[in-house]
Amino acid sequence: MPTQVNIYDAKTNLSKLIDRVLAGEQVVIARAGRPVVDLVAHTGSPIVLGGLKNQIHFDQDEFDAADSEIRRMFDVAGERDAPA
C-alpha cells in the first residue's frame, strides 16, 4: 500500500520522500486527503547504439567537395588575417 502525504508534508520532506521512492516505496501526494500525484523515480531510457545504421546515406563526392570548399575558406581567411 502506498504512503500518502499531504502537499505541505511533501514540500517539507521532499528529500526524504525521494529517498523512499528510490528505495522502491510508493508515495502519493494528496490535497485535502484526495490523491493528486504519484511520486515516481525516473527510470531513463537505455542508450541504443547504432539505431540508424544503414538508414542514413550520403554521397562521398559531396563531402569531398565540401572539404575542399571549407579548406579554401580557411586559406582565404588566413591570408586576410596574416600580419603584414
Task: Count how many residues are written for the chain.
Answer: 84
pLDDT of residue 82: 58
pLDDT tens, position by position, for the chain (84 residues)? 899 999 999 999 999 999 999 999 999 999 999 999 999 999 888 888 988 889 988 888 887 888 888 888 888 765 665 565
Q: Provide φ and ψ at 48, rounded to 5°.
A: -110, 115
Provide the 10 A C-beta neighbour count for residue 13: 13
The predicted structure's pLDDT at residue 81: 59
Q: What are the angstrom distances between the C-alpha of 36 and each of 27, 30, 75?
A: 11, 5, 63
CA dihedral 9, 12, 18, 19 (to 10 degrees): -100
Q: Count the alpha carbons within 13 Å of 78 in the hemisphere toward its beta carbon.
A: 6
Q: Which CATH superfamily is domain 3-39 in?
A: YefM-like domain (3.40.1620.10)
Report yes or no on whether pTM surpasses 0.75.
no
Per-residue model confidence (pLDDT) at position 38: 98
